[in-house]
Amino acid sequence: MTQDLDAVFSALADPTRREIMTMLLEDDMAVTDVAEPFDMSLAAISKHLTILAQAGLIAQEKRGRVKWCKLNPDAMRAASVWMQSFGQFEPVNLDAFERFLERELASDDQA
């Protein structure tokens, strides 16, 4: 379970991947549609999608000549349960959690 949690948190640590996850909440999307709003290459987006898929957060499938992405919300269940077990996190605010981690890591670097 620890390895799965590590993969999920690592995948969610990047703001581009979190934005992709938000986009996929609406509906399945073709890879080219996922890439459209970002100012980066299709290859870079594909790397982000691969990381999300390896963490189990999304699934990718080929439909004809087009590769589609689909959100797998069940993959976040273990992470959500783990975070809620601390009792201090009501609704999980991943952006605030990321800022907290960045501050902690920065203070460790200065020490």
Residue 101 and residue 95: Cα distance in Å, rounded? 10
In this prediction the pTM is 0.73
pLDDT above 90 (res 106) = no
pLDDT above 90 (res 108) = no
Residue 73 and residue 24: Cα distance in Å, rounded? 10
- The total of structural domains in the chain comes to 1
Residue 69: beta bridge partners? Answer: 29, 60
Is the alpha carbon torsion for 71, 74, 78, 82 positive or negative? Answer: positive
pLDDT at residue 22, rounded to an integer: 93
The residue range of the domain holding 49 is 2-110
pLDDT at residue 109, rounded to an integer: 67
Residues contacting 43, CB < 8 A, separation 6+: none
What element of type H or E holds 17? helix 15-26
What element of type H or E holds 59? strand 58-63
- Summarised one tens digit per residue, pLDDT across range 46-76 is 999 999 999 999 999 999 999 999 999 788 8
Give the CATH number, domain containing residue 25: 1.10.10.10
